[in-house]
Chains A and B, each alone.
Chain A
Amino acid sequence: MNNVLVYCELTEDNRIADISLELCTKGRQLASQLQGRLQAAVMGNAVNSAAESLFAYGVDDVFVADDSRLSPYRTLPHFNVLSKLIETQKPDIVLFGASSVGRDLAPRIASYLRCGLTADCTSLEIGSHTDLKTQTTYDNILMQMRPAFGGNIIATIVCPETRPQMATVREGVMKKEIFDANYRGTIIPITLDASLDAADKAVKILRREIEEQKVDIKGAQIIVAGGYGMGSKENFELLHQFARLIGGTVGATRAAVDAGFTEGERQIGQTGVTVRPKLYIACGISGAVQHRAGMEQSGKIISINTDPDAPINAIADYTIIGDVMTVIPQFMACYKNNLK
């Protein structure tokens, strides 16, 4: 069957996680191209309204498993339910978030089904593939693009022979878009069987600590990001002043986070968050591929750097050659003047 199934993650307050809505948006596109149905699996406790919320994203069938043993997420209970669902529904494609949940569950499912799984895809398309050895052509299969080798190359991966074709995608890489606010699909309850009991007993959660998300860097329209070139934690304070003035949020490169200039939750790039703000101001950032992978889809990019040859300048709309500690105050003054 040409169906696309999205495994949906739930937030702490039992809503569908953004990453899963992003996958439904992409899944809708893929399912339409394949002339198949978009399906979603929602597993948790009291998840009816979460399940209903998926229809606006164009989901045709929402499979719901509602049981207290499925919340909070644990590997084996979810594995138990999802692996059986995939075996009976036989979707062509299954998508997971590349989150701590998706990256825990998807490989175990792929191993059980003996199918391929591509991690951390940045792009998914339907296309055809010809095996050069056998000269066999496979039409309408999933082209899975992902950065590899520390982000130095982009690989296109296909799984022509096995089904389903499975992929994980990082949060923020794909767009989340309402398909049709009035779209209606069907809720299909999943019948749980006795095997869930054994899965339930394997691992117990003793306690959980959920941290408030302090920084919403993903939703920011303007990001002022600092790199190792900022020089110190104290200098990073200037970025906060700058961000406050222009209504932005402070981001950072891995090098700046590793150097202790700022908190890890501000990290942008392949190992951090992927962002697409309308304005990205890169301050003292050289622009390693891993960092660029997380911000190059920004609307406008300004680079402030002493090095005219910094790689980030190649993707910047404006490059200001100069020291961040003098250029930023100058720019702030100009901005204030122009607002008057």
Chain B
Amino acid sequence: MALKIVVLAKQVPDTHNVGADAMNADGTVNRAALPTVFNPEDLKALEMALCIKDSLPDTSITVVTMGPPRAAEIIKDARSRGADDGFVLSDARFAGADTLATSYALSQAIRQLGHVDLILGGRQAIDGDTAQVGPQVAEKLEIPQITYAEQLIDINEKEITIRRRLERGAEEVKATLPVLVTVTSAAADCRYPNAHRLIRQAKDEVRLITADGIDADMDRLGLKGSPTKVKKIENVVLAHKESVVLQPTEAALNELSATLIKEHIL
């Protein structure tokens, strides 16, 4: 028994380590100044795929990403952790895509792979936090989706059981394959790269696939295929209030608490 799994992944700027030079003077993002990382929740999705492969060893895992050629780094990373294969959708015609155009490109790429049993991906990417691409790929492929997955309970060649997070609680759901699952940060951490695999595949090139390779309607790709437009970008500037700075003396704190009580704030 074996499954064919696709993991959707994204190489993202490390927004958790944003330095002073992260923004250009005109308010745009200075991507060159930011280190890139494997989107954290996508790594958790990869781990879920690898766990399935542990129990069903003939399972194949293909990692699919879209981005500039250097996004091949995360495909290599994924292979060194145990993924079988992967490729980068890379083409100027994909550029400027919002989630709708991105999900269209990804779903067309997945269609080229033939029958797929399970698609896994992170719930959201840390550079956009939209959580839209997963459900949109599922809709385009007309398969069910299970979002906010935090634990794989059970899987066989027909069905998957997942524990997913709710606003206030959790639920266990069972779906018939094929299905798309998005994984949250509460899921298990990804295993480390394996040194042998790292060395063995270091020289293996990562395939770059262009828009011509996914049988796509060019009008639905990139900026052209994106209904959302960015009208304006503003840096977050702190509105500087008249701030009263106090030293923690008894007199100052006494006066402050008296004022707050008088103003009915305390």
Contacts and interface: CB of A to CB of B under 8 A. Distances in A.
Interface string B94-135: 000011100100000000000000000000001111111111
B52 to A, nearest CB: 18
A120 B244 contact: no
A106 B145 CA distance: 13
B228 A118 contact: yes
Interface stretch (B43-51, B62-70, B199-207, B230-238): B230-238
B158 interface: no
A29 interface: no
A159 B232 CA distance: 13
A196 interface: no
A105 B132 CA distance: 9
A320 B248 contact: yes
Contact of A208 (B135, B138, B170): B170
Nearest to B145: A75
B170 A75 contact: no
A308 interface: yes
Contact of B172 (A104, A207, A311): A207
Contacts of B229: 129, 131, 157-160
B23 A334 contact: no
Given A104-B145, A159-B229, A210-B168, A279 B260 contact: yes
A108 B145 contact: yes
Given A205-B172, A208-B169, A314-B243, A114 B227 contact: yes
Contacts of B155: none
Chain B interface residue bracket vs A: 35 or more
B156 to A, nearest CB: 15
Nearest to A98: B131
A322 interface: yes
A100 interface: yes
A126 interface: no
Nearest to A277: B265
A108 B256 CA distance: 52
A157 B130 contact: no
Contact of A110 (B13, B100, B144, B170): B100
Nearest to B236: A289
B172 A206 contact: yes
A153 to B, nearest CB: 5
A314 B260 CA distance: 20
Contacts of B98: 116
A119 interface: yes
7 contacts: A108-B145, A110-B136, A119-B130, A150-B18, A155-B232, A213-B168, A315-B238
Given A152-B22, A308-B245, 9 more contacts: A107-B132, A110-B100, A119-B129, A143-B231, A156-B232, A207-B172, A299-B265, A327-B253, A331-B256
